[in-house]
Chain A
Amino acid sequence: TQLLEQSPQFLSIQEGENLTVYCNSSSVFSSLQWYRQEPGEGPVLLVTVVTGGEVKKLKRLTFQFGDARKDSSLHITAAQPGDTGLYLCAGGNDGSSNTGKLIFGQGTTLQVKP
């Protein structure tokens, strides 16, 4: 059974600080997707990484896929109160039996205080 573990589970920081959220597994994934979820809403896709070592940037957010495709990180530079929310990583697998099933981590709740 493939599992994704996110750390930390909770993070409370001051506006302007940097932070990194980690998503780790003992299994290889073909792709890793990062989502942000607001209370009472569905996850909103931020980015997908598919190549080992890949780095993608989305404004102040930097996403990296580990070389072995077992882990990923999300780094936020100069966090702002608007970044507050639940961040989820989700892994997918290609292959002949690929059904699109995503396996989610438990999420990291980020609070950015003004």
Chain B
Amino acid sequence: EPEVTQTPSHQVTQMGQEVILRCVPISNHLYFYWYRQILGQKVEFLVSFYNNEISEKSEIFDDQFSVERPDGSNFTLKIRSTKLEDSAMYFCASSESTSGGGEQFFGPGTRLTVL
């Protein structure tokens, strides 16, 4: 069964460093997303991406964040200068469509720890 994969599973970094989180969405999906979940809190939307551009981003997704689809399979989230409060689980998701309840399939997540 097709699935979304993410690497690494755990990333530890120093405050101020750049990190790149990687995702391989399901191959025939056209819509891609990043969400994050701070320990003990809700899953929060960060950004949606379609046709090689951002379609919506949340207030969390400031200038320190960027997304890219560098080739036909990978989808990346970059945080340029990490802060302590960026520590969270980051989930990538993908879907075939966004209408009629466009079902999103989530990856296993990357746990980011900023020291």
- B residues adjacent to A (C-beta < 8 A): 4, 31, 33, 35, 41-45, 48, 50, 55-56, 58, 89, 91, 93, 95, 98-109, 111
Contact = CB atoms under 8 A, between A and B. Distances in A.
A41 B103 CA distance: 18
Interface of A: 30-33, 35, 40-45, 48-50, 88, 90, 92, 94, 97-107
Q: Residue among A43, A90, A100 with the most chain B CB within 10 A? A: A100
Contacts, number: 79
Nearest to B107: A42
B42 A100 contact: no
Contacts of A104: 35, 42-45
Contact of A50 (B41, B45, B100, B109): B100
A50 B48 CA distance: 21
A107 B42 CA distance: 7
Nearest to B46: A101
Contacts of B95: 100
A50 B107 CA distance: 23
A49 B101 CA distance: 7
B100 A31 contact: yes
12 contacts: A42-B109, A43-B106, A90-B43, A92-B102, A94-B98, A94-B100, A98-B99, A99-B56, A100-B48, A101-B33, A104-B44, A105-B42
Given A41-B108, A41-B109, A42-B109, A48 B103 contact: yes
B115 to A, nearest CB: 20
A48 B99 CA distance: 12
A106 B101 contact: no
Contacts of B102: 31, 92, 100
Contacts of A33: 101, 103-104
